[in-house]
Structure 1
Amino acid sequence: MKRRPRRSTPAVLAALVLLAASVGAAVAAVQLILGQRPWIGYDSVAGWLHAQHWNDLVPAVAGGVAVLLGLILVLAAVLPGKLTVLPLRGQPESGASRRSYRSTLRAAASGVDGVSGTKLTVNRRKVSARVRTERISTDGLSEAVHAAISHRLAQIAPATDPAVKVKVKATRSTP
């Protein structure tokens, strides 16, 4: 099971821009129907646009911004995002959410004697743990945390075994 993230942010942004343009056009149309002077007059917009030339700065910048936003939206739609559910060995439809995967590995690292805090980064191919300790001597702590995370990974059984990297930071310095 490889569930990808939803592309809700680019879709919401595109929808908000289209909504704003539609509301502006609808308000101007209703004001014209009621015989009032519209906030955004067609004649003033058309006159301003007609006065612009292709080689002026404003149309070039507006075109560049439109192209850039279009490319960003196309790339957001085409490029695959980070997996939200990481596949596990065994059943083809089994998986663990990235959040639960990270929290169970963090719990395994925090359960090692001498660890006071853990920050964990989980990628598909790598697990990086930054461990804080109150100990003066950190000898063997990195190996113990590595063993705890590796044992928990063996219990979880991900489809691809990630490499485990551990960094230990002592909050107290050696005298």
Structure 2
Amino acid sequence: MKRRPRRSTPAVLVALVLLAASVLVGVSAVQQLLGEPTWISYDSAARALNGLRWNDTAVLIAAGAVGLVGAVLLLSAVTPGRPTVLPLAEGAGGIDSGVSRRSYRSTLRRAAASVDGVTGAAVSVTARAVKAVVTTNRVDTTGLSEAVRAAVQDRVDAIGPQRPPTVKIKVKAPRSTP
């Protein structure tokens, strides 16, 4: 179970551009049918476009821009995004299950912050690693990194991801005063 994010941003952008173009054409058509002055004159647009040649610079630039936007949209639709649900190890009954990346990260952050002496924790989760940066007010941080690593590793083992990540801990402490 690897749920991927939806490609909503490119889809919304394309939909907005198409909506704006269709509203513009529709309003111009209604204005022309009612005999009102149109926002975009069909005759002036036809004259301007009729005067262009395929090898004109403006036409080539517009074609390149449209092709580039199309390629970017196609590439964003085809490439997979980061999984939003991380798969868990298969249980005894063969049940396929997963955990959201956000809840996984917050659970590991709470595990790191629960260690005595830790005043704050930030955790980032990738497919292969869990990186935790913990802050402390202690001047002597001996053993704190190992305690945080053990707490986070215990929580990772309890959750049971399909691919157990490596746990990396960084401790930030105030400088000692001389």
TM-score class, shorter: over 0.9
Q: Classify the secondary structure of the residue corresponding to 2:5.
A: coil
Unaligned runs of 5+ in 1: none
Q: Classify the secondary structure of the residue corresponding to 1:131.
A: strand
Percent identity reads 57
State the Cα distance separating 1:163 from its structure 2 match: 1.2
Q: Which residues in structure 2 correspond to 1:133-172 (within 5 Å)?
A: 133-170=136-173, 172=174
Tell me the TM-score normalised to structure 2 length.
0.92
Distance 1:147 1:29, change over 3 A: same
1:48 aligned partner:
48
How many residues align? The count is 174
2:59 aligned partner:
59
Unaligned runs of 5+ in 2: none
State the Cα distance separating 1:114 from its structure 2 match: 1.1
Aligned counterparts of 1:152 and 1:61: Cα–Cα separation in 2:
56
Deviates more, 1:151-160 or 1:55-64: 55-64
Question: What CA deviation, in whole Å up to 9, does each residue of 1:112-167 have, x standing for no partner?
Answer: 11111111111111111111111112221111111111100000000000111111
Q: Does 1:100 align with 2:68?
A: no
Q: Classify the secondary structure of the residue corresponding to 1:100.
A: helix
Matched residue type, 1:16: L
Question: What CA deviation, in whole Å up to 9, does each residue of 1:84-120 have, x standing for no partner?
Answer: 1110012442111111101100000000111111111
Q: Which residues in structure 2 correspond to 1:64-103 (within 5 Å)?
A: 64-89=64-89, 90=91, 91-103=94-106
Matched residue type, 1:130: V
Aligned counterparts of 1:24 and 1:60: Cα–Cα separation in 2:
24
Aligned counterparts of 2:53 and 2:143: Cα–Cα separation in 1:
71
- Find 1:123's aligned residue among 118, 121, 126: 126
Post-superposition, which runs of at least 4 consecutive aligned residues in structure 1 deviate over 6 A?
A: none
